[in-house]
Amino acid sequence: MRTVTDPGTIAMLRDSIQRYTEEHYSFLQRKLVLAQARGFSAQAWNDYAEFGWLALRLPEEQGGIDADAPAIGVFMQAVGSRLLMEPLLASTVLGTGLLLRQGSQQQLAAWLPSLADGSMTLACALEQDAQDPCVFQDGLLFGRQLNVLHGDVAGKLIVAAQAEGKPVLCVLEADQVQGHAYRLVDGRSAASFHFNGAAAQLLGLSQDKAASAIALARDEASIALCAETLGVVDSLVETTKAYLKIRKQFGRTLGSNQALQHRMVELYLLHQEVRALVEAAQLALTMQGEERTRLIAGARAFIISAARHIGNEAIQMHGGLGVTEELDVSHYFRRLMVLAGLFGNRDQHFEAFMAAAPSRNREECA
């Protein structure tokens, strides 16, 4: 992701997303989406394509805006605040980004138009087991990938693998792979795959930069997930504040209770810290090497922890209603549970932060 998108373009993108989701993706409308077999709204996906949102990362000459991290962040924040179900992270952010960075001219010409108009989706399997990685050999892919977000609805899979001991990126048809589809706790779909010699092709003509492309894609995923988490936190804080203002107990609103006021102040402060760290992580993407990884991993570790605390507090301040299916708070909490485990959990990101920290800082933290 670049960091030069025009602020006016970002403002217009934010306004258009907010208007659309307010009209077409309310909590009750989302319940209808949850009941659909594919786990997301085909109508909404077509609308996203019509508005040009699926082409955000494409160059301007191909109908996109060459979106940078803050522009993608605006989009992912809406994904969190409205709990959107469509494969935006998997296909529009990560898949399209990897294709633009690594794909050959032939692959770009064949697949980018289909990604932009929504007729094709991508899923990315970038997690690699150091002890048992996927292996690409003679045009065939061996190994397995677990918990691939939206893998069951993808047309193609981008898979990180090893070839002769070096990292490579492969592309293969999802329907040609043995997979097991299931729903995550927030209702979105995922799949696990066993490749068993599935036919695949390399993404791009050269794999010299595959390792750096995978590392950058994982950092982009972390930043996008931080922005999505901020969207969830936005809604949890606002919903909880509104509930305390209208819910009465013993003739008084809950918000008049001083202890609850103090807890809301703590949530507000954590909310602002999350927002600041999302912006810091987006800026960090312009850096190189360990410094980029350190800042992004540190931000992600803190945001996961802070968001979980905010979610817990929101549930408790709603009382028994907070865990019911009928209240949106429980659905936001489930989304936080899923976000906390995608592309590394809190402990893994904290370990990455410590590993990239200067030796003096590591000694002080220990």
Domain harbouring 306, CATH code: 1.20.140.10
Closest CA to 280 of 295, 293, 297, 268: 295
Predicted local confidence at residue 250, as pLDDT: 75
Grade residue 71 by pLDDT with cuts at 50, 70 and 90. Answer: very high
Predicted local confidence at residue 258, as pLDDT: 87
| 357 or 166: which leads in pLDDT | 166
- Range 327-339 average pLDDT: 97
Predicted local confidence at residue 366, as pLDDT: 52
Is 99 part of a structural domain of the chain? no
196 has pLDDT over 80: yes
- Range 276-285 average pLDDT: 96
Helix axes 210-246, 69-81, angle to 10 degrees: 40
Is 98 part of a structural domain of the chain? no
26 has pLDDT over 80: yes
Q: Do 306 and 236 share a domain, yes or no?
A: yes
CA distance 119 to 115: 6
3-state DSSP percent of the chain in helix, strand and coil, to 5: 60, 15, 25
Predicted local confidence at residue 255, as pLDDT: 74
Looking at the structure of the chain, the number of domains it has is 3
Terminal CA-CA length for the chain: 34
2 has pLDDT over 50: no
Grade residue 60 by pLDDT with cuts at 50, 70 and 90. Answer: confident
DSSP symbols for 76-108 = HHHHHHTT--SSIIIIIIIIHHHHHHH--HHHH
Predicted local confidence at residue 362, as pLDDT: 52
Is 107 part of a structural domain of the chain? no
| DSSP category for residue 172 | E
Residue 248 pairs in a beta bridge with: 253
Q: Which residues contact 73 (CB under 8 A, 6 or more apart)?
A: 223, 224, 226, 227, 230, 278, 282
- Of all residues in the chain, the percent with pLDDT exceeding 70 is 96
Count Cβ atoms within 10 A of the Cβ of residue 47 and give its class: 0-12 exposed, 13-18 middle, 19 or more buried: middle
Instruction: Give the structural domain span for 144.
Output: 122-208
DSSP symbols for 262-311 = HHHHHHHHHHHHHHHHHHHHHHHTTS-HHHHHHHHHHHHHHHHHHHHHHH
- Range 347-351 average pLDDT: 95
Is 114 part of a structural domain of the chain? no
CB-based contact 141:134 (threshold 8 Å): yes
Q: Do 189 and 256 share a domain, yes or no?
A: no
Helix (H) or strand (E) run with residue 156 in it: strand 156-163
Predicted local confidence at residue 3, as pLDDT: 45
We report the CATH number of the domain holding residue 56 as 1.10.540.10
- Range 304-319 average pLDDT: 96
- Range 112-117 average pLDDT: 95
- Range 192-215 average pLDDT: 93
Q: What is the mean pLDDT of the chain?
A: 92
Q: In whole angstroms, how far apart are CA 124 and each of 40, 99, 151?
A: 18, 11, 8
CB-based contact 88:49 (threshold 8 Å): no
Is 105 part of a structural domain of the chain? no
Grade residue 361 by pLDDT with cuts at 50, 70 and 90. Answer: low
Predicted local confidence at residue 61, as pLDDT: 85
Q: How does pLDDT run across 211-257, given as a tens digit for each residue?
A: 999 999 999 999 999 999 999 999 999 999 999 998 877 778 887 78
Q: Do 329 and 234 share a domain, yes or no?
A: yes
Give me the residue label for tokens 């048992």: 132
Q: Do 42 and 162 share a domain, yes or no?
A: no
Which residue, of 208, 241, 257, is where some domain finishes?
208
352 has pLDDT over 80: yes
Cα angle value 125/339/261 (rounded, 5°): 170
